[in-house]
Amino acid sequence: MEQLMVVVPSLNPDDKLIQVVDGMIAAGFSYVLLVDDGSDKDHWKPFLEAEQRPACTVLRHEKNLGKGRALKTAFDYICRERRDIRGVVTVDGDNQHKPRDARRLAEELIKYPAVVMLGVRNFKEHQVPLHNRMGNMITSLVFRMLCGIALSDTQTGMRAISAEHLPRFLEVAGERFEYETNMLLFMKTAGIHFREIPIETVYIENNATSHFNPLTDSAKIYGPILKFAGGSVASAGIDLFFFTLLIWALQDMASLNRQILIATVGARAVSSLFNYTFNRRAVFSSNESRRITIVRYYFLCIVQMMISYKGVALLVGAAGFTGLGKTVVKLGVDSILFAMTFHIQREWVFKKKKSDSYIDSGVQQ
C-alpha cells in the first residue's frame, strides 16, 4: 500500500473523520489526502487534528465547491505533486466505508491496474434507508436500459483508480455529486473497464450527515438523460403535428397505407433535423465528424421510421381508427421506440472517439 493514496473529500465533518483517517492508516495505507470543501470554522477541528498525522495531507477550498470539484482537486494534486503515487482509493468521510473494504479494493487494483474497482453495497439489506434503496434501483434501471451499463450500486463513493486514469477523469464534467455519475458514463464511452467488489453496507444515523440534495443533485445526475427526453418530447411534438397535418391533407387518398407512409415520411423529415442537431450538441456532445454521425443518424432514422409506419399501419388497419385515432396510435408506437433509440444513439450514432490512451484490460466494461 506504499504507493497508493486514500482520498477523502469532506464538508463540515464531525469526529468520524478522524476515525476514517486512523482506520485507513491502521489498514496499511501510507498516505491519506483530505480535501476540505469549504467547511465552516466550527468544523475545522477534525482537519487540524488529522494534519498532525505524518501520513495525512489536507487540501482546502476557500468556499464550498462540491464533491466533484473536491475529487478533482485531489486528482490534480496527485498528478502534479505526487507522481510517485500509482493509484487512489476514494472513500467518504462519514465512516460508512470500512478500512478493510478499502484495502480489498486496493489489493485488486494492484493486481489489475487498468481496471477501476467499484465498492458496491447490498441494497437489499434491512438497514438501507428506503429513499436510498429506491434511488439506486431507479438509477440502476436507467443506467442499464438507456446507457447500457450494468451496475448494482450507482451511488458508491468507494472506488480504486489507477493514477494513469486520473488525467482523463479530470476532464469529466461535473462539480458536485453528478461528477461521480459522469465518471461512470465516461468510463463506458472511453473504454475503461470496471469490476464490482462487494463491500459492507453501512448507514450511520440513517445517512443523516450526507450533503446530497435530493432535488438539485438528482437533477444534475439525470441531466443527460433528461436532456435526451426533453429533446425527444419536442421532436415527437413536431413529428405528431406534421403527421396530423398531412393525414388531414391526404384524407381523400384512397390507399390507407400510402396515406400513412407519406405522412410518416414527411413528418419525420422535418422533426429529424431538429432531433439530430439537439442530440449531437446538447445531449451526447459527440466529437465524431458531422458526416459520419449524420449518415448513422439517418440510417437509424429510416429504420425507426419504417418500424413506426408498419406498426401504425397494422394497428390502424386492424382496429379501424380514423382521424386523431391514427395520431394516438402513432404516439404509442413511437413511445416504445424511445428507449431503444437512446441506447443506439449513445453507443453508435454519437459514440465518442476513444483516446489514444485507451486501455483494454480484458476484464469487464
Q: Domains of the chain by range and CATH?
A: 4-221 (3.90.550.10), 224-349 (no CATH)
C-alpha 18/C-alpha 270 separation (Å) is: 60
Q: Which amino acid is at 83?
A: R
* Cβ atoms 63, 40 nearer than 8 A: no
Q: What is the pLDDT along the chain (365 residues), one digit of tens a residue?
A: 789 999 999 999 999 999 999 999 999 999 999 999 999 999 999 999 999 999 999 999 999 999 999 999 999 999 999 999 999 999 998 888 999 999 999 999 999 999 999 999 987 777 777 767 777 777 787 777 666 678 888 888 999 999 999 999 999 888 887 889 889 888 877 889 999 999 998 865 554 445 445 455 556 666 655 665 677 778 888 988 998 999 899 988 878 888 888 998 899 888 888 878 877 766 555 556 778 888 888 888 888 888 988 888 888 877 666 666 777 888 888 878 876 777 787 677 776 554 433 333 334 44
How much is the pLDDT for 107?
A: 96
pLDDT at 90: 97
Measured in whole angstroms, the distance separating CA 142 from the mean position of its chain's CA atoms is 9
Q: Smallest Cα–Cα separation from 68: which of 229, 179, 142? A: 179
Q: Give 202's strand partners.
A: none
Which pLDDT score, from 0 to 100, does residue 365 have?
Answer: 44
Dihedral sign computed on CA atoms, order 125, 129, 130, 135: negative
pLDDT at 97: 92
Q: What is the pLDDT of residue 222?
A: 67
Helices 16-26 and 99-111, packing angle to 10 deg: 40
Q: Which residues, 6+ apart, have CB-to-CB distance to 267 below 8 Å?
A: 238, 239, 240, 241, 242, 243, 246
Q: Do 235 and 280 touch, CB atoms closer than 8 A?
A: no
How far CA 159 is from CA of 64, 104, 183, 229, 232, in Å, comes to: 23, 11, 11, 30, 34
Q: Distance between CA 199 and CA 208 in Å, rounded?
A: 20
- Does the pTM surpass 0.85? The reply is no
Give the per-residue pLDDT at 360: 34
pLDDT at 352: 59
Pick the closest to residue 167 from 362, 359, 365, 357 (CA basis): 357
Write the DSSP symbol of residue 206. G
* Side-chain half-sphere exposure of 92, counting CA atoms within 13 A: 20
Predicted local distance difference test score (pLDDT) of residue 288: 66
